[in-house]
Amino acid sequence: MKTTISHIQFNVRPANLVFYKDLMACLGWQTIYADDAMLGVADGRGASLWFSAQVKEVSNDYDGPGMNHLGIGAPTQADVDTVTAFLKDHGVPALFDTPRHRPDFEPNPERTYYQVMFESPDRVLFEVVYTGPKAG
């Protein structure tokens, strides 16, 4: 059996749906559904992410049990920088001294693991990462 990720649902505050719509558009995902309580976006290869009105007003702790972060692959190192600029324009700080190269994740000096990590307004931890040949 070979499976793929079909979809992931995030419970978020309805007031933050615009942020997710703008973020996912910046990342090249297409909106497939949107109303005042739900946003669905697709990657064009069959996976979708759904942002739904939060059921309970509780804090998310990504270091506790459950998913730590969602990593989204970027096609180029410059795309990670584009996302970093998007975050800055939206008042979202990058975390963990990113963006940065991670030689501890890619020991080949001709390649890189280049990432930016950030929290969404609902404290969902995201990583946008490029892995591949280093840019000049």
Q: What is the pTM of this model?
A: 0.90
Q: Identify the pLDDT of residue 136.
A: 63
> Of 15, 38, 58, which marks where a domain is finished?
58
- Give the residues across from 70 on adjacent strands: 126
Q: What is the mean pLDDT of residues 62-88?
A: 93
Domain termination site, one of 58, 77, 93: 58
Is the distance from CB of 70 to CB of 126 less than 8 angstroms?
A: yes
Q: Please tell me whether residues 44 and 102 are part of one structural domain.
A: no
Residue 52 belongs to what domain range? Answer: 1-58
User: So what's the pLDDT on residue 47?
Assistant: 94
3-state secondary structure of 18: helix
CB contact at 8 A, 10 and 21: no
What is the C-alpha to C-alpha distance for residues 35 and 70, in angstroms, rounded to an integer? 23
Tell me the CATH number at 92: 3.10.180.10
Average pLDDT over all residues of the chain: 93
Structurally, how many domains does the chain consist of? Answer: 2
